[in-house]
Amino acid sequence: MYDLTHMELLKVTSAGQLSLPARIRRRWGTKRVAIEDLGDRVVIRPVPDDPIAAARGALKGRIRPTEELRAIAREDERRAIERRERQA
């Protein structure tokens, strides 16, 4: 069953075009969409006008800060040097 409370019905023109209502375009803030054919349905997803700017900050909080990564790398290198010296 379809949830009609969140659904918009659009007319496809004879040229195969459809118009997204202005309120939807404004909500998603884009002029481009991606259309995916899933066999039993079509999914329309907004595509950012500037994908690089849209992705900026997406990994914030998911990876360690650069300085912390450098400190870990320096410590790993120091331990490797100590192991080599002990083996020599």
Per-residue pLDDT of 46-71, as tens digits, reads 888 887 877 777 777 777 778 888 99
CA separation for the pair 80, 59 (Å, rounded): 30
**What is the per-residue pLDDT for 2?**
61
Mean pLDDT score, 12-29 = 89
Q: What is the number of structural domains in the chain?
A: 1
Q: pTM above the 0.85 mark?
A: no
Mean pLDDT of the chain: 85
Euclidean distance between CA atoms 33 and 55, whole angstroms: 16
Fill in the amino acid letter for 70: R
pLDDT average, residue stretch 13-38:
89
**With 70 as the cut, is the pLDDT of residue 36 above it?**
yes
Q: What is the distance between the alpha carbons of residues 21 and 11, in angstroms, rounded to a whole number?
A: 11
Residue ranges making up the domain that contains 55: 4-87
